[in-house]
Amino acid sequence: MTAEIVDNIYRFESRKVFATLVRVLGDFDLAEEAMHDAFAAALQQWPQQGVPENPTAWLISAGRFKAVDAIRRRARLSELHPDLSRRIAEIESANQLLAQRDIEDDRLRLIFTCCHPAIDPKVQVPLTLREVCGLTTEEIARAFLISPATMAQRIVRGKAKIRDAGIPFAIPSLTELPARMDSVLSVIYLVFNEGYCASIGDSLTRVDLSDEAIRLARLLVQLCEDLEANDPEAKGLLALMLLHESRRNGRIDEEGNIVLLEAQDRTLWDQKLIAEGRALVEQSLRSRRFGAYTIQAAISAVHSVAPTASDTDWSQIVALYDVLLRIENSPVVELNRAVAIAMRDNVASGLEIIDTLLASGELQDYYLAHSARGEFLKRLGRNQEAKSAFEKSLALAKQEPEQRFLRKQIALVSGD
């Protein structure tokens, strides 16, 4: 029974413990070792002593002492290494009284550290996924389509930069915050996307990652309010994630198969999350300083209020995509706009736009572009072409639920 409790705490709290240990110890690798030692100690002590009232604080305290022991094992510090002796004294005195708010903020501190402008932008995201969210190097490497060895080098390089440049484990000052927000918002959204639609694997979603991204966004919004540095895009991002998350229960059926938006049972959507998300969208729009996240959230909000797919205000959605393209002119946004145009006008109009996008070469490796093309061709009765498009999409899809969905589409247009 205790082992199950420890396992559950590890799944949901281990990166919180790690983040605080990084701040206290100032060393990623030592913090990782100390965190695992603390959980091992919990497995030994809690069955006899009982689960502490505040398990997270207990684990942080245990990890801190385990780190001191680890340092002492590596050298005779009291005589030979005065600098390390001083560091041990600092660690021993740190966080004698752990404030819960400090523990909550530590993961936000860590994400600002991983997203420091001194760190290569290509390293910021994998470093955050590894150190803040706890993904394995292998998982991150698969998501970025590179070898684990190459990804490990990037992560090591990022940690070395933090150490060598003396980058503080701290939330930036009010004057520094605006310049750092874009990177942090981008990384939080990437974490959410990996949880909302995992890049690989047997499951469509990873609830732990999407929940963590939402929690970090809430902390960020609260931080901005506390510092009186109101950032509408922080609210826009939180709104976007909440509105996406509201549809989680309708996105897959009981067998774990994908259910397209228009076919989802909307009674399964979480109305509480929808209400919160819409309120945040309205706040951000009223500021007139909004950006791409807020517009995307506004599009999701239009979907959220339609009782059925046929009741969706596609004209408004196309108009919002037109605004989004002016802010973020990307082929993926154009693809989504093409789908909206197909729903507003006709399938042929949407297909024409997708064909143009694919002809440009920018979306040739994007499985959703070929899947959307296959769907439009199917609706036009061009089944042989639809089959070819779905087969291209299947060859690019990395996730088992997506592959099952595409195989089903291929069977439908093949008459199997």
Q: What is the mean pLDDT of each run of 10 residues along the chain (416 residues)?
A: 86 88 87 92 92 91 85 58 54 47 72 88 86 84 81 93 88 78 86 72 68 89 78 94 94 85 93 97 90 96 93 96 94 96 96 95 92 96 96 91 92 85
pLDDT recorded at residue 198: 59
User: 136 with 86, same domain?
Assistant: no
What is the distance between the terminal CA atoms of the chain, rounded to a whole angstrom?
49
**287 domain-assigned:** no
From 49, 74, 98, the end of a domain falls on 98
Q: Distance (Å, rounded) from C-alpha 231 to C-alpha 184?
A: 12
- Domain shared by 168 and 201, yes or no: yes
| CA dist 148 → 184, 274, 397 (Å) | 24, 38, 20
Say whether both 107 and 6 belong to one domain. Answer: no
CB burial of 220-253 (b: ≥16 within 10 Å; e: otherwise) equals: bbebbeeeeeebbbbbbbbbbbbbbbbbbebbbe
Let me know if residue 72 belongs to a domain. yes
214, 230, 246 - which closes a domain: 230
Q: Are residues 93 and 150 in the same domain?
A: no
Please indicate, yes or no, whether residues 88 and 107 belong to a single structural domain of this protein.
no
Q: How far apart are CA 376 and CA 349, in angstroms?
A: 10
309 falls within a domain: no
Same domain as 114, residue 61: no
User: CA-CA distance, 237 to 171, in Å (whole number)?
Assistant: 19
Residue 236 lies in a domain: no
Instruction: Judge whether 76 lies within some domain.
Output: yes
On whether both 30 and 70 belong to a single domain, the answer is: yes
Q: Answer whether residue 292 is part of any domain.
A: no
pLDDT score at 281: 96
Residues 15, 105, single domain; the answer is no
Verify that 135 and 202 share a domain, yes or no: yes
Q: Is 393 among the domain residues?
A: no
Is 225 in the same domain as 104? yes
Running DSSP on this structure, what letter comes out for residue 201? B
Q: What is the pTM of this model?
A: 0.80
Distance CA 189, CA 136 (A): 19
Beta-bridge partner residues of 252: 258
Parent domain of 33: 1-98
416 occurs within a structural domain: no
The total number of structural domains in the chain stands at: 2
**pLDDT score, position 91:** 47
Closest CA to 318 of 331, 334, 297, 305: 334
Same domain, 118 and 77: no
**Does one domain contain both 110 and 210?**
yes
pLDDT in the model for residue 235: 95
Which pLDDT does position 362 carry in this prediction?
A: 85
Question: Domain ends where: 202, 230, 258?
Answer: 230
